[in-house]
């Protein structure tokens, strides 16, 4: 069965510092992989996706993520965090069969300090 | 950019009452989804809908739940007899299939 693990519940970084949010997945084959961001009281906004091809994918707002098959990981990175990046970040696995239902991790809450 | 819209943004209902949550997916999308997020927990898949029928549903989606696409634009989630544990944020999403899902801003359902 599909599952997603985000080991860090809460991360605090200083504005301008680099960021890496961890995501590990369990899936029988190569999944579709996504990172979504959720600001308080808002819906889920897609940051980036991996379907196939280049394992380093670029997203919006300066985020990138790297798919590492050997580690079953899809970590999200940003070289320099902005105060507006404070939010909840969710990694998700998409089922390649059928309707591509998403299975989410528990999320990582990012706090940015001045 | 087209958006998924959900109404109402907040619904308060007495336990045991029926509730209908409404969604307008992006117009050229073919797949529709409902997800649930209990406060402080992860987003959970409820059901997917394609070609006017349920594609898949999770264990959460029991007989109290139903979905419908009553016309060419709306997609609804009905909870027949609400329970306290149904209190959550409900998200609608749509996609073209093998493309990322676009989410609405959610409906916060509060059961009293």
Mean pLDDT of A65-81: 96
Contact yes or no for B67/B34 (Cβ under 8 A): yes
Across the interface, whether the CB atoms of A100 and B103 are under 8 A apart is answered no
**What pLDDT sits at residue A28?**
76
Binned at pLDDT 50, 70 and 90, residue A27 comes out as confident
On average, the pLDDT of chain A sits at 92
Residue B112: closest CA among B2, B12, B3: B12
Separation CA B104–CA B26 (nearest Å): 10
Low-confidence ranges of chain B (pLDDT < 50): none
Separation CA B47–CA A95 (nearest Å): 13
Binned at pLDDT 50, 70 and 90, residue A98 comes out as low
Answer yes or no: is pLDDT of A23 > 80: yes
**What pLDDT sits at residue A2?**
79
- In chain A, % of residues over pLDDT 70: 97
**What pLDDT sits at residue A40?**
83
The interface residues of chain A toward chain B in range 74-103, judged by CB-CB distance below 8 A, are 90, 92, 98-103
| Residue A94 φ then ψ, to 5° | -105, 135
**What pLDDT sits at residue A52?**
86
Separation CA B6–CA B23 (nearest Å): 4
The alpha-carbon gap from B92 to the nearest alpha carbon of chain A, in Å, equals: 9
Across the interface, whether the CB atoms of A46 and B102 are under 8 A apart is answered yes
Answer yes or no: is pLDDT of A96 > 90: no
**What pLDDT sits at residue A7?**
96
**A92 to chain B: which residues are within 8 Å by CB?**
43
Across the interface, whether the CB atoms of A106 and B41 are under 8 A apart is answered yes
* B23 vs A53 pLDDT, higher one: B23
Answer yes or no: is pLDDT of A99 > 90: no
The interface residues of chain A toward chain B in range 46-75, judged by CB-CB distance below 8 A, are 46, 49, 51
Mean pLDDT of A70-96: 94
| Residue A79 φ then ψ, to 5° | -70, -30
């Amino acid at each position: 069965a599909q599952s997603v693990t985000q080991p860090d519940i809460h991360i605090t970084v200083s504005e301008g510092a680099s960021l890496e949010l961890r995501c590990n997945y369990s899936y029988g084959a190569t999944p579709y992989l996504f990172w979504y961001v959720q600001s308080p009281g808002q819906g889920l906004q897609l940051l980036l996706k991996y379907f196939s091809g280049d394992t380093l994918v670029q997203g919006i707002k300066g985020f990138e993520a790297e798919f590492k098959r050997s580690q079953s990981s899809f970590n999200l990175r940003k070289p320099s965090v902005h105060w507006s990046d404070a939010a909840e970040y969710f990694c998700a696995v998409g089922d390649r069969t059928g309707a591509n239902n998403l299975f989410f991790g528990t999320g990582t809450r990012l706090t940015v300090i001045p | 950019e087209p958006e998924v819209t959900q109404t109402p943004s907040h619904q308060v209902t007495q336990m045991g009452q029926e509730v209908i949550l409404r969604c307008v997916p992006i117009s050229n999308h073919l797949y529709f989804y409902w997800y649930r997020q209990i406060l402080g927990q992860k987003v959970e898949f409820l059901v997917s809908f394609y070609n006017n029928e349920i594609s898949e549903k999770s264990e959460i989606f029991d007989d109290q739940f139903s979905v419908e696409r009553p016309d060419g634009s709306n997609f609804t989630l009905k909870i027949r007899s609400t329970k306290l544990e149904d209190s959550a944020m409900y998200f609608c999403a749509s996609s073209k299939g093998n493309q990322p899902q676009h989410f609405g801003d959610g409906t916060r359902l509060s059961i009293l």
